[in-house]
Amino acid sequence: MEAIKLLAELGKPPLGRLIHYRALTTAFREIKIRRDPNCPLCSENATITQPFNDQKEMTPLPEITTLELRQILADGFEGILLDVREQDEYFMAHIDEAQLLPLSGWPAVAANLPKDVKYLVHCAAGMRSARAGEWMLQNGFADVTNVTGGMKQWLQEEPSE
């Protein structure tokens, strides 16, 4: 409510005070707060003057479906199919051409991968591989594509023999 009053410039907000509400007894208590003369945000010599944004510029991560992955592999994919699931998930089911590099070992292990190779990255459903792919693009890898649907979708589409 106090934030709305401030934004709408209505009423008298409790600047410099903290209002404590105890719901069990329906009691209010006002606590005065002294300004910190060394506060980096609100003092006379504030060092924080604008919002901080630590995110690197995002490059959109290309995506393909598991059906498209099947076709790419059938056509003789020249690159690395990277599986970022954990080892136990890989042992339960995996794509033969895939190289296992669990996301839990990143970024230390991934930093040693060659950056000038085409990567298709997959996981169980497409979320971890998207995180891995975004990290790769932000760290100088030139050609990275996420496989949406991941291993779950791959297994559902498995042709019956």
Domains and CATH numbers, the chain: 1-52 (no CATH), 63-156 (3.40.250.10)
Q: Are 113 and 145 in contact (CB under 8 A)?
A: no
Q: Long-range contacts: 156-161, Cβ < 8 Å, 24+?
A: 157/66, 157/67, 157/70
Alpha carbon distance 109, 37 (integer Å): 46
pTM summary value = 0.63
Evaluate whether 9 touches 15 at the Cβ level (below 8 Å).
no
pLDDT, tens digit only, all 161 positions of the chain: 878 888 888 888 887 788 888 999 999 998 888 878 888 778 888 887 777 665 555 568 999 999 999 999 999 999 999 999 999 999 999 999 999 999 998 888 888 899 999 999 999 999 999 999 999 999 999 899 999 999 999 999 876 65
